[in-house]
Amino acid sequence: MPVPATFAPAAEEPPLLLIFHTGDVHGCAREMTDGKKEGQGQLASLGYARMKTFINRQAAGGKMLLDGGDALHGQPLAAAGRGEHIARLLELLEYDALALGGHDFDHGLPRLMELRKRYKLNYIAANIISREDGAALLPPYVVKEFGGLKVGVFGLSSPSTPRLTSPEHLHSVIFGNPEDAVEIAKVMADKLRREAGADLVIALCHLGTAPQSEFSAQDLAREVEGLDLVIDGRGPGNGFSALVGETLVVSAGSRLQNLGQVAVTRDEDGQLLLTPSLIPAPSFAAVTPDAIVDTLAGELEEEAERERSRTAARLPFALNGERGSVRNGSANFGRLACAALQRAARADAAILTSGDFHASLPAGGLSRKNLAAALAERSVVTVRFKGADLMRALNHGLSRVNGSGFPQFYGLRVTARESRAPNADGSVSRRCRAESVEVGNRPLDPSADYTVAISDHMYRGGDGYRMFARYLSQADPARLAEIDRDEVLTIIVEDPAAR
């Protein structure tokens, strides 16, 4: 079915159907502002309670609510209860269908299936197959009818999902490769159109729309005929909308910074029109939160806060995160955090900047809340770099003595030489440069590939780490996986070997 230009004029009467969509929420179920103090600033994340009220108030022949994945893991509210707090809220929101992102598996596949059953979550996936019998793990699609308009939605998870979570979580299932995903999508589109009689065929997926995506939502739209709409749930944060051939591709971004909406109407000839829009979080300021969702979310948040404040482990020694230490040399807090990060990412090495460390931690009781206050909760990515760029990164960081870009690392043995130079004001500048670097007890090879876990801040050139910039736009991306920082915190808190 041809889809007209995405900037179709708004209908004068209520649309036949309003499709609302979210994705990459990462546990941001409660509204958040961009102010530094509670109650200040404008809404940066609209929250589930305001979203519920807003959707209920919209006039349309029918309404559909879809999620593109990665809802169950991320914020402390999601980490508490191993996803159960978020699952309880999703049940109240009554999503018509949800796709699965890699981090939805972070609590383990059995846990995911348990939450799905207990809270009646409508997860769909056409390309997650059991290794044992070749059967689909989940229903591949749903079909719903709204006043004579039949809508078919099939789910598609990223073929790279096994790289986005721990391997032990997915040993019993396979996701295939991009070619498999294309063939499955072709079968689903044909089945929904011909057998189910769908007027509107939607792919609900977690692939990504960014240029560096290994297999993007746009790729899917280009390769598969018969798709009217592709709703993607894997960022970027500011959302996305584009017409790819005759298929509309949309994303609401991440962390409920927007609510995505697609209005379905008919033109004078009776052809369906799809009109996408993004409703940004600040627009919800005057929307009254749904009382039931808001009350439950508040209770669950309080419970999660109590859990975060509970003593989870005891440190046998203090961890030094003092500014004067982490910005001038290797500190034990830096080594431990990077060791935990390397283990979580299954990488050759891990590097963080000294700006990630905000305070020391004393020996004795340790809670996740205290740990999060001392170690920045930035996103972390695992990236494949050439040895030459790894060396450039190390020398760049080592030259930033006393600066926030000075590196803390693990998995690398670095021998460096320090030099001092007087400044015009009488002060002395210190600089370090690596003379030799070993990775895994072998000399660093400039032409070899190494997997390195770093912060998203570094990956995007923060603190002057611009040598990584060229990896952002590669067609075959260097970015292999995103590791949630809470996984690192868990290792530090719970794994004695990491300490």
* 14 CB burial (10 A radius; 0-12, 13-18, 19+): middle
Q: What is the pLDDT of residues 292-311, one digit of tens each?
A: 999 999 999 999 889 888 88
The rounded distance, in Å, linking the Cα atoms of 487 and 343 is 10
pLDDT mean over 191-203: 97
On the question of pLDDT at 266 being above 80, the answer is yes
Instruction: Return phi, psi of residue 222, to 5°.
Output: -70, -35
Q: Which residue has the tokens 């809508």?
A: 151
Q: Which residue has the tokens 């369906």?
A: 272
Domains and their CATH numbers in the chain: 17-305 (3.60.21.10), 311-498 (3.90.780.10)
User: Which pLDDT band, with edges at 50, 70 and 90, does 475 fall under?
Assistant: very low
Q: What is the pLDDT of residues 134-190, one digit of tens each?
A: 889 999 999 999 999 999 999 999 998 876 666 566 888 999 999 999 999 999 999
On the question of pLDDT at 391 being above 90, the answer is yes
Q: What is the pLDDT of residues 78-105, one digit of tens each?
A: 877 889 999 999 999 999 999 999 889 8
pLDDT of residue 19: 98
On the question of pLDDT at 201 being above 70, the answer is yes
Through-space distance between the first and last CA atoms of the chain, rounded to whole angstroms: 59
- Using CA atoms, how far residue 197 sits from 63, 126, 325, in Å, is 19, 18, 66
- Mean pLDDT, the chain, integer: 87
On the question of pLDDT at 5 being above 60, the answer is no
Higher pLDDT, 293 or 423: 293
